[in-house]
Amino acid sequence: MHSQQKISNALISVFYKDGLEPIVKSLHQLGVNIYSTGGTQNFIEQLGIPVFPVEKLTGYPSILGGRVKTLHPKIFGGILARRENEQDMEEISSFEIPLFDLVMVDLYPFEETLAKTTDESTILEKIDIGGVSLIRAAAKNYKHSLIVSHMSQYPTLLNLLENEKGNTDIATRKQFASWAFEVTSHYDTAISNYFTKDITQTALKLSFPHGKTLRYGENPHQKGFYFGALNDFLSILHGKELSYNNLLDVDAAINLISDFSEPTVAIIKHNNPCGVASRANILDAWKDALAGDPVSAFGGIIVLNQTLNAELAKEIDKIFLEVLIAPSYEEEALNILKSKKNRIILQQNGVLPKTQTIRSVLNGVLVQDRDLKIVEPADLKLVTSFDASAAEIEDLLFADKIAKHTKSNTIVLVKNKQLLGIGCGQTSRVDALKQAIGKAQGFGFNLSEASMASDAFFPFPDCVQIANEAGIKTVIQPGGSIKDDASIAYCEEHKMPMYFSGFRHFKH
C-alpha cells in the first residue's frame, strides 16, 4: 500500500549548497512544491524557482539568530503524518498542513568546525538542532517520506528524479532512512565525544562514516573491513588495493617513522621492523636499513621520512616489496617505481592522530593512550660508574625508539644508528636476545661496541652477561626489577655503561 509514492511537496534546508542546483531544477520541472528557509531559500530564489518560505507556513519568523526556524507542528506534522491513519489525516486537513514527501537536510558542519577552532561559542553554534530533528522525523516515517540527509546522497537523488520522474518506492525510502540514522548517529557521537573529552571515560562511542570492504581479513577465509577516511591521511599513487595485512603494516611503519627526525628508512615485516637506519642522506639510510636483514625485506613495507628521489628509486626497484610510503616523490622516481603494476605506492599527507588505540577483547574493547613517549637524554639515569660516549648515547636512544615499535619481548641491537639485529615476540627476554645476536651475526655484523635496548626490565643478569660475551658494550632498559642490582653489578664489573630510561614499551 505504501510502495510507490510521487513527490509533491519537498522541504529543503541545507548548509552546503554544492550540487543542489540540478536537484532543485529537476524538482521544479516535475511540478514539486518546494518549501525552504534562510540561506537555502535565498539560493533557490536566485535560481528563479518558486519557493514557499517556511515562515509563511508556520506563521513565525526565524528567531534567536536562526536557532529556531523549522521546529513547528506545521513542519513536523507534515513529515510525521501516517497517511493510512484516519485521525492523522483529519488533523492534517484541519490545520492545513502540507504533507512532505521529500525532506533534504545537510547538517551544520560540526566536525569541520571542531577541526578548525577551539573557540567554544563557535563550536556550539555548529551543533544542528532542527536539522537533526527533521532527519529523524522523515527517516522514522520512511513509509511516506524520502529523507536525503547528506550532500553525498545528492547524485543518487538526482538519478532517482530523472529516471523515476519523482516516484519513489518503499525499498528506496527505507535505504535512505538507514543512511539518515547513520548520519545522525555519527553526528551525535562527535558531539558527545567533544563534551566528554576532558571527563574520565565511562562509555565508549565510536563512529566511522566511511566503510570499505577488503578482499579478505588476515586470512582468505576471513571477511575484512576498514572503517575510516583513509584518503584524508594517505594518497594511493599506484598499485593494487591495500589489504587487511597491508593496513596493519602501514600503521606500524608510519608509527615508527614518526619518531625519527633525521633522514631515516625503515623496513617493516609483519608489523615489526627488520631494518632501520638514519644517515646524512636518504640513499645511505636505505642501503644500511636493507643491510640489516635483506632476507626479511623481501615483500616488506618500506617507509621513509624524506622525499624519494630517482637515485633511491633505482635501488629500491631492485627488490620485491609490497608497499612504499614517503612524504613526497620526485616525478622521475615515481615513473621508475610504477614499473611494477601491483606495487603499492603511498604518499603520507599528515601525522597520525595522537589519540588512543582500541582493540577488541573478549566481549568488549580495550582503550588506551597511544605510546607517544620518546625517551630523551634528560630521561636517562646512569646506574653504573662508567658512562657512554655521546655517539653511544645516540645509539641507545635510537635503539629504544625501535624497541618501542616491536612486539614484546624484544631486544634491539644497534651500532652507528643502524639496526644490526632484533629479537621480537619471544616468550623470554633471553630468547629475544639470542635471536637478535643470531640475526646480527648471520648477516656478518660485528657486535663489538654495539648498543642494546630492551622494551622492559631484565629480571635477571643473564641478558647483560650474554650481551657482554657477544661484544655489546652499552645498555638501555626501563629498570624497575627487584633484581636490578644484579644486572647493575654485572655491568659494573665488566665496565658496561647501563642506563635506565624509566619508561617501559611493552607492545602486544
Q: Which residues are catalytic?
A: 140, 270
> Residue 409, preceding bond cis, omega within 30 degrees?
yes
CA–CA gap between residue 228 and residue 206 (Å, rounded):
11
> CA nearest 301: which of 286, 287, 275, 321?
321
> CA nearest 205: which of 214, 213, 195, 215?
195
Cell numbers representing residue 142 in the block: 520512511
Q: How far is CA 430 from the centre of its chain?
A: 36
- CB contact at 8 A, 276 and 269: no
Q: 218: which residues sit within 8 A by CB, 6+ positions away?
A: 224, 244, 245
- Decide: residue 216, CB within 10 A, 0-12 exposed, 13-18 middle, 19+ buried: middle
CA–CA gap between residue 375 and residue 372 (Å, rounded):
10
First to last CA, the chain: 57
Q: 432: which residues sit within 8 A by CB, 6+ positions away?
A: 409, 410, 411, 423, 424, 426
CA atoms within 13 A on the CB side of 507: 24
CA–CA gap between residue 352 and residue 178 (Å, rounded):
31
The greatest distance separating any two alpha carbons of the chain, rounded to the nearest whole angstrom, comes to: 98
Find the angle CA(215)-CA(216)-CA(220) to the nearest 5 degrees: 120
CA–CA gap between residue 330 and residue 32 (Å, rounded):
54
CA–CA gap between residue 445 and residue 443 (Å, rounded):
6
CA–CA gap between residue 165 and residue 168 (Å, rounded):
9
- Decide: residue 194, CB within 10 A, 0-12 exposed, 13-18 middle, 19+ buried: middle
